[in-house]
Amino acid sequence: MIAYQLTELKASLVRNEVALNLEEGDLICKNLYAGLNRRDHWITQGLYPGIELPCILGSDGLVEYEGVKYVMNPNENWGDRLDIPSSKYTIRGLQKQGTFASESAVQSKKLFKKPSHLSDAEAAILPLGGLTAYRALVSNCKVQAGDRVLINGIGGGVALLAFQFAIALGAEVYVSSSSPSKMEKAIALGAKDAINYRDEQWGKSFKKKVGGFDVIIDSAGGEGFIDLIHASNMGARIGIFGGTRGYINKLSPQHLFFKQIHIFGSTMGNDQEFADMIDLVDKYEIKPIVDTVYSFDEVNEAMQRMLSPEKFGKVAIKIS
203 belongs to the binding site for ligand NAP (CB under 6 A): no
Q: Are 55 and 94 in contact (CB under 8 A)?
A: yes
Helix (H) or strand (E) holding 71: strand 68-72
229 belongs to the binding site for ligand NAP (CB under 6 A): no
The C-alpha angle 243, 158, 2, rounded to 5 degrees, equals 100
313 belongs to the binding site for ligand NAP (CB under 6 A): no
219 belongs to the binding site for ligand NAP (CB under 6 A): yes
CA proximity to 303, closest of 319, 312, 292, 287: 292
Q: At what angle do helices 127-134 and 157-168 cross, to 10 degrees?
A: 60
Nearer Cβ to ligand NAP (198/208): 198
The C-alpha angle 140, 142, 145, rounded to 5 degrees, equals 155
Nearer Cβ to ligand NAP (211/242): 242
Q: Are 127 and 31 in contact (CB under 8 A)?
A: no
Provide, rounded to whole angstroms, the least separation between the CB of residue 290 and ligand NAP.
13
130 belongs to the binding site for ligand NAP (CB under 6 A): no
Nearer Cβ to ligand NAP (93/156): 156
59 belongs to the binding site for ligand NAP (CB under 6 A): no
Binding mask 33-52 for ligand NAP (x = CB under 6 A): ----xx--------------
| Burial group, residue 257, by CB count within 10 angstroms (0-12, 13-18, 19+) | exposed
Provide, rounded to whole angstroms, the least separation between the CB of residue 122 and ligand NAP.
16
| Footprint (CB under 6 A) of ligand NAP, residues 69-128 | none
Q: Is the dihedral of CA 119, 108, 277, 317 positive or negative?
A: negative
Position among 45, 244, 260, 308 found at the interface with ligand NAP (CB under 6 A): 244
Residues near ligand NAP (CB under 6 A), total: 28
| Burial group, residue 65, by CB count within 10 angstroms (0-12, 13-18, 19+) | middle
Q: Using CB under 6 A as the criterion, which residues of the chain lie in contact with ligand NAP when the complex forms?
A: 37-38, 132, 152-159, 177-179, 182, 197, 219-220, 222, 224, 241-245, 267-268, 309
